[in-house]
Structure 1
Amino acid sequence: MRIGLNLNVAKIIKIPSVFVYDTKVVGVSKDNADGSSRQEIIRQEVEEDDKLKLLAEPDNPYDKNAVKVLSKNDNQIGYLNKEMAETILPAIKNETEIHVTAKWVNGEKMLGVGLRIELVS
């Protein structure tokens, strides 16, 4: 009896798909509900390449799809714009792995923050 080696066996390797979005934080000139200054929070807590966080805000009176952007210390620095929030919100609800990085922080009178958002599925 001959025992043969089956060379037609396929090995399946799952490679995650990554969707990358570049955008900027909106509402950075406003103060938070607790009176804290988003500009001060950005100045003190946000640097280029910092990991940031996103948090859905379904009770927002202006937009039920609102998504807050938080510093590494969980302080709000602004929001995603309406279109980006609608794109990202399903990933937040589905607990998709999301990496958010400050790509730039700049400005003279008013600081702004650029984001890179990576959705890993």
Structure 2
Amino acid sequence: MASRGRHGGAPAREDEPRCEERAEQQAPAPQGPILPPPPPVDYGVFMQGLVQAMQTHAHTQAALQAQLEAQAQVPAQDHGGPSIMEKFKRMLPPSFKGESNPILAGSWMREILDGAYERCTAGKS
């Protein structure tokens, strides 16, 4: 079988660069300083660091879990009276339906403030 040549059928000479070599030669030069290659990775040191990080994470998780359990065991302090939310609900304020209309939201807010103002001034008379 005859060797395959270039466009005209003439075989490529040994001293001429091939197509792949010409593409490499025409590549633009990198901009900026040329950095040295990174140092080789010491996988033993890497694994030791990874194990240490995992142990630290486990200790932190255990401490957080213990803190959460301790907080759950402490009962909420009861001041002997109703909460602010309970007091607010007893006043039967107008409810807000979650409307996106700013006029409705504004009128609801005015009703809440007017009711609060009336309750504040009613006790002072």
Higher strand share: 1
Larger RCO (CA within 8 A; separation ≥ 6): 1
Normalising by structure 2, report the TM-score. Answer: 0.16
Higher helix share: 2
Normalising by structure 1, report the TM-score. Answer: 0.17
